[in-house]
Structure 1
Amino acid sequence: MAGLCAQRVVAITGAGRGLGRAHALAFAAEGARVVVNDLGVGLDGTGAVTGPAQQVAEEIRARGGEAVAHGGDIATPEGAASLVATALDSFGRLDTLVNNAGFLRDRMLVNLGEDDWDAVVRVHLKGHFLTLRHAAAHWRAEAKAGRTPHARIVNTSSGAGLLGSVGQGNYAAAKAGIIGLTLVAAAELARYGVQVNALAPAARTRMTEHAFAETMAAPAAGEFDAMAPENVSPLVVWLGSAGSAGVTGRVFEAEAGRITVMEGWHPGPSDDTGARRTPAEAGATARRLLAAARSPQPVYGS
């Protein structure tokens, strides 16, 4: 099958539903061979069935593509290692990793239990780290053997990680951490032919459908469905292709027909006296600098 990703092998976590499923189908439509990972858990991360991953893999094969299902827990070293091994055993190579798996356990901070904190940070942040580490180890070995890859990693952050989100302290912290991980990985892995970028998508999935149901009516027949997850996938496919050469360490937002390059932290107004200030002087300087700085974007839900 010809296309932008012809002959590339792509592993996608959390690809049984929502955004991950849309990414898997979009990569396959561009010629990629796809490893469809999904643990098959509920919205809160409980339970596990192999059905969703198998169904997406079968859907890709029914359309003439190549795909295999992987039901391992990518937030464990064994599951992350087996994801890479499945790509190598099934297709002989791995070119792109898309980290997408996640779930929610929303609570206000005063009601947020330690278990709910640990579970969300584990699947989002640790799940990104472990798959990234195992894929990177493979690509480093390839590069050292003289077979430098054109490898790609696309991580999934969130507007909650960029701006915060009321009732989602665990999720927002994990998604902000993913951005930091992306920047470090891009810097460290460039020498091995690996590009690493992150995406903050907005789409209607199991994790967001309640919020969008309250704020946006369903489109009429024939109208553009602005919140369809399929709107996000074209950018993910491009970032995961060889055509994105030279693009690394960047964070994008994607929603409906809009793509935004996020500019991250940049130094703003500054003042240097060359000497130590008193607390009162530091406060006066801080207020003067704040008055000259851009106001931050509001936290979601505030």
Structure 2
Amino acid sequence: MGGLLEGKVAIVTGAGQGVGRAVAEGLATEGAKVVVNDIGVTLTGESENPSAAEEVAAGIRDRGGEAVGNRESVSEPDTALRIVEDAIDSFGRIDLVVNNAGILRDAIFHRMAPDQWQAVIDVHLKGSFLVSRAAAQHFRQQESGAFVHMTSTAGLIGNFGQANYMAAKLGIVGLSRAIAMDMQRFGVRSNCIAPFAWSRMVSSIPTETEADKIRVAKLKQMTPEKIAPMVAFLGSDAAKGVSGQVFAVRNNEVFLMSQPRPVRSLHRGEGWTAAALAEQLPGAFGPSLTPLERSADVFSWDPV
């Protein structure tokens, strides 16, 4: 195997199946040596297949690549460190971290229990921080490295019944940008991808209406393998000038997503009162207010 990542070492968390597996296999095809991390749990976090990581790694080796399986959790400091140590012990270095691990505990906000909130935050957001932090010391010393974090249009735009997931995924965008800014001087890059692909993360989408059924049918056409090339590019030296950005990949489409910036302003020399704001703000800002849309409302055309 050879390609854009020849000689580089990558960690992919949550790589036992779905998007993570496709990314791990795609990176190996591009020449990377891969640490396939997965604890082998269901979508909601219960134990399912403890050998998932090793099965994916074995498949990569069977095709001529180099890979090891890793079953450590991303959500605890010590185990996150061991994931990175596995890369160093197995391959001598680390060049790319792909934070993909995640679970779901969906519930309408007013019915969401604290443990449902915390479980999702711990894996997605805390896990991304811990694994990134464990790799950061190596990136700093070698003055190179790349992070690719999986966000979601559920966080960037919105979705019903996913306050925990939305908060975690939008938090990952902030984390990625902070890493990009703090580690720029060491030649380290950090970017996000919002993947559109049929996987466990989207298989729980409700199909109660005809519109939802049509949406899910379209999602099933988008395979996880479509995400891997963008991850490989962002992890390669070819993406040297790309950092702190948010992309989306939807079948054969690649998007650069906007990030919050001022869109309108009001100034009042004597300062504002609540009454003055009530009089002027709705008319001035109303046309520019962001509507309460779901991801499906914004990405409303058929994938190409």
Normalised by the length of structure 1, the TM-score is 0.92
- The residue that corresponds to 2:194 in the other structure is 200
- Determine if contact 1:226/1:255 at 8 Å carries over to the other structure: no
Residue 287 (str. 1) matches residue 282 (str. 2): yes
Aligned residues: CA RMSD: 1.9
- The residue that corresponds to 2:293 in the other structure is 298
Cα separation, 2, equivalents of 1:15 and 1:34: 10
Cα separation, 1, equivalents of 2:17 and 2:269: 56
Residue 285 of structure 1, CA deviation: 2.3
- The residue that corresponds to 2:19 in the other structure is 19
Cα separation, 1, equivalents of 2:180 and 2:262: 21
- The residue that corresponds to 1:173 in the other structure is 167
For 1:215, give the aligned amino acid: I
Residue 207 of structure 1, CA deviation: 1.9
Residue 275 (str. 1) matches residue 274 (str. 2): no
Residue 300 of structure 1, CA deviation: 4.3
Other structure's SS at 1:5 match: coil
Cα separation, 2, equivalents of 1:210 and 1:173: 18
- Determine if contact 2:150/2:193 at 8 Å carries over to the other structure: yes
Deviations 1:250-302 (A, max 9, x none): 00011111111011111111111122222111122211222342643613478
Cα separation, 2, equivalents of 1:27 and 1:127: 21
Structure 2 residues not aligned, in runs of 5+: 208-212, 298-304
Cα separation, 2, equivalents of 1:155 and 1:82: 19
Other structure's SS at 1:207 match: helix
Residue 182 of structure 1, CA deviation: 0.8
Q: Give the length in aligned residue pairs.
A: 292
Cα separation, 1, equivalents of 2:216 and 2:261: 37
Question: Identity, % of aligned pairs?
Answer: 41
Structure 1 residues not aligned, in runs of 5+: none
Residue 168 of structure 1, CA deviation: 0.4
Cα separation, 2, equivalents of 1:212 and 1:261: 28
Cα separation, 2, equivalents of 1:212 and 1:2: 41
- Determine if contact 1:166/1:300 at 8 Å carries over to the other structure: no
Greater shift after overlay, 177-186 or 48-57?
Answer: 48-57
Residue 40 (str. 1) matches residue 40 (str. 2): yes
- The residue that corresponds to 1:259 in the other structure is 254
Q: 1:137 to 1:282 in 2, by over 3 A?
A: same
Residue 69 (str. 1) matches residue 69 (str. 2): yes
- The residue that corresponds to 2:51 in the other structure is 51
Deviations 1:99-146 (A, max 9, x none): 000010100011100001000000000000001111112222x1xxxx
For 2:125, give the aligned amino acid: L
